[in-house]
Amino acid sequence: MTREEMFAFMNENPICYVATIENGQPRVRGILLYKASVEGIIFHTGKWKKFHQQLVADPNVEICFYNKGTQIRVAGKVELVDDPQLREEIIHHPSRAFLKSWEGKLDMSNMAIYKLKKAKVTTWRFETNFDPTVYEQFL
Question: Is a pLDDT exceeding 80 seen at residue 134?
Answer: yes
| Three-class secondary structure of residue 101 per DSSP | helix
pTM above 0.75, yes or no: yes
**Measured between alpha carbons, how far is 32 from 13 in angstroms, rounded to an integer?**
9
What is the per-residue pLDDT across 80-123, written as a single tens digit (0 to 9) for each? 999 999 998 998 899 998 887 766 666 777 899 999 999 999 99
What is the per-residue pLDDT across 31-82, written as a single tens digit (0 to 9) for each? 999 999 999 999 999 999 999 999 999 999 999 999 999 999 999 999 999 9
Q: How many domains does the chain have?
A: 1
CATH number at 104 reads 2.30.110.10
Q: Is residue 130 part of a domain?
A: no
Q: What is the pLDDT of residue 125?
A: 93
Domain around 53? 3-125
Which are the contacts of 96, defined by CB distance < 8 A and separation ≥ 6? 34, 90
